[in-house]
Chain A
Amino acid sequence: YRSALNDFQRSEGRELVLKSWNVNRLTELPRVTLEDCAKRCTESPECRAFNYEFRPSLVCKHLPWVGDGDNADVKRNVNCDLYEMKVYVRKCIVGKGEDYRGKVSTTTSGRTCQQWWSKFPHDHRWTPSATNGLELNYCRNPDGDRIGPWCYTTDPERRYESCNIPQCKDEVCITCNGEDYRGQVDHTISGKECQRWDQQFPHQHIYQPEKYPDKSLDDNYCRNPDASPVPWCYTTDPTMERESCDISKCPEFPKRRLRSSYTTNCFRGRGEDYRGKVNETTSGIPCQRWDAQKPHEHPFFPKTYECKGLEENYCRNPDGSEAPWCFTSLPEMRTALCLQIKRCADDIEAEDCYNEIGKNYRGVVRKTRKGILCQKWSINTPHKTKINPKTHPEANLTDNYCRNPDGDHHGPWCYTSDPKTEFDYCAIKQCAGEKVPIIGPTTEVEFNECGKREDRLRSRLR
């Protein structure tokens, strides 16, 4: 039941383009299935990756490199998926790392590795071949040494040393119950290989990656799309449907994270971040305590789900339901939603008000309408400030307070501390009664390059 695709990491909508000097090293196989394309690649000593093109026609292109930028570049192509052999792209090892084919070439102590073909400064018995992976001076484990991938060093005083490549299970640790885990462990705790999320054999399941884009159901890696206690996967063993994965927990994770997204008086989205104290259902039935197993037995132990805020008997949403809920104190009613908790307005509550367009606002609000902290006007991280105290000395651009130095009609704003959002408007509303009337332009405007249309096309269409 094992799929040949299990050896590959898929990049959707990507294509590997070989650099000009090795374009002739590409092998094209027209009209083969995806599975067959993968199988033939694993059987070929030359193949390390393949492009699977599905438009305009099915073509499987075997490639001798992965997309690390040295010999090939990865480009966007909506008509193609790229599959790269995991052993060549991952930065961690499974077991003793005999199959590691990465490009680390320095040892734990920082020494440079000796080339495998060289017998100097250390003579040895290994000979590079097409299949043993002893390429250049990369760390390898040809003899299954317990120290993991290693190499002879270029230091005459030190014959060989481990390269300390991390185990995949330790490379990315999990916080809470690992719903955010995006690491590369692909085996379960008992050593069974995981089934790919995009396949329905040997086990049929509902977790199709395209239906759960926020869950990163990549390849056959362990994930936690259903708020289980730890990441898990379906296995390639037909007799075992699913099993947990053995992934390290992050050390000293603070049990109570103070997140800006937590709400107490209302809930956003599905209410997973609601941390308020409502403790009865919509119809007024008191909730059961989360640390109790009576009247209802349940798996949501506060210690297992340490990030879900399962305190007292408060309404919470630890499993991604539609809204905060709880187990009820009535034996005949197991769970009920707490829909009396209101949904938050899209924007956070305004904390101050400004007159006209807020050009003279000198208040101390330093938060955007989405609750993100403002960036200081005088520094250039995360955003380079085009408007700063030097360019606008009169605008009182102190600290990270919301201001309106450029006379923005939509009110005070700031650069934000979120690297993805350059600027945003602040959590300040216009003072009551204020209104800036819309007045037309005073001068005629001339348009140049834009808005031109060849109306001939219309008659041509007819």
Chain B
Amino acid sequence: IVGGTPGNSPWTVSLRDRKGNHFCGGSLVSSEWVISTKQCFSSCYVDLTGYTAMMGTLFRDPKEGEPDLQRISLTKIVCGPSESHLVMLQLETPAQFNERVSQICLPPERYIVPDGTICEIAGWGETKGKGDETVLNVAQMPVLSNKDCNQYFKGRVRENEMCTMAFQAGVGACERDYGGPLACQNSDCWVLEGVIIPMRRCGHAGQPNIFIRVSVYVDWIKKVMEM
């Protein structure tokens, strides 16, 4: 996260490759399922042997024996509708929820987050020299309507995407944050409204951030979990 600060996001998980290296983020939408983005994987049929989801820590490379740390193998990948760029990843065993690990709410189907709602992104990705990459960073950002966002991106933002406002200082998700959450608070609950996807530049001053709008795919997410 460029321009963020160390923080806490108990639904954000770190996806790890066979060597245990963090490569992408994800969000716990239930004790057994993580949502992330397809760009983090080479295909919808990738062999996930050795891949894990790590949660319950604020550190990118925690020491063994850290209390609350959970490492759970990934067993299944399901690709979302073609234009969604989403994937659902099944955990081998259910995550144990506690004060450091919890699931995030899904939004109502096809819900549009009001303009100006304060949301936050979280991840262990690049900071471009603007933070500590060894810990989880969080940045707050207000929602920007698609209409206004399209003025910047010349009409390329689609209905299944959503934006957050630009910052002159440059704040946004970056390499290895992809797949992580854009979480927005709704009274005392946090709701997964967006999934971080790669952009051409990250944390670029004056550039809005684009996310996949989760509410468009809530029916698919529930269907995958049910089936």
Contact = CB atoms under 8 A, between A and B. Distances in A.
Contacts of B159: 437-438
How would you classify the secondary structure of chain B's contact residues: helix, strand, loop or mixed? Answer: loop
Interface string B2-46: 000011111100000011100000000000000000000000110
Contact of A441 (B52, B71, B109): B109
A437 B159 CA distance: 8
A210 B19 CA distance: 9
A213 B223 contact: no
Interface string A373-387: 000000000000010
Interface in A424-460: 425, 437-441, 445, 447, 449-455, 457-458
Contacts of A445: 107-108, 111
Interface string A182-214: 000000000000000000000000000010011
Which bracket fits the contact residues of B? 35 or more
Given A56-B64, A423-B227, A440-B110, A453 B10 contact: yes
Nearest to B49: A213
A453 B45 contact: no
Contact of B92 (A76, A409, A441, A450): A76
B7 A451 contact: no
B104 interface: yes
B11 A441 contact: no
A291 interface: no
A422 B68 CA distance: 33
B48 to A, nearest CB: 11
B223 A450 contact: no
B50 interface: yes
Contacts of A322: none
Contact of A447 (B7, B111, B189): B189
Nearest to B218: A409
Interface string B68-82: 000101001010011
Contact of A452 (B71, B82, B188, B227): B188
Nearest to B71: A78
Nearest to B220: A410
Contacts of A257: none
B47 to A, nearest CB: 7
B220 A408 contact: yes
Nearest to A385: B227
A355 to B, nearest CB: 17
A453 B44 contact: no
Interface string B103-132: 111111111100000000000000000000
A425 B82 contact: yes
28 contacts: A12-B50, A55-B64, A78-B71, A79-B64, A210-B19, A213-B18, A386-B226, A386-B227, A406-B223, A409-B220, A410-B217, A411-B81, A420-B45, A422-B78, A422-B227, A423-B223, A437-B159, A438-B159, A438-B215, A447-B105, A447-B191, A450-B105, A450-B106, A451-B102, A451-B105, A452-B188, A453-B8, A457-B8
Given A440-B110, A441-B110, 11 more contacts: A56-B65, A210-B18, A438-B215, A438-B216, A445-B111, A450-B103, A450-B189, A451-B105, A452-B188, A452-B189, A452-B190
Q: Which 7 A-B pairs have the closest CB atoms?
A: A451-B189, A441-B108, A451-B105, A410-B81, A451-B190, A447-B189, A450-B105
Interface of A: 12-13, 55-56, 76, 78-79, 210, 213-214, 346-347, 369-370, 386, 406, 408-411, 420-423, 425, 437-441, 445, 447, 449-455, 457-458, 461
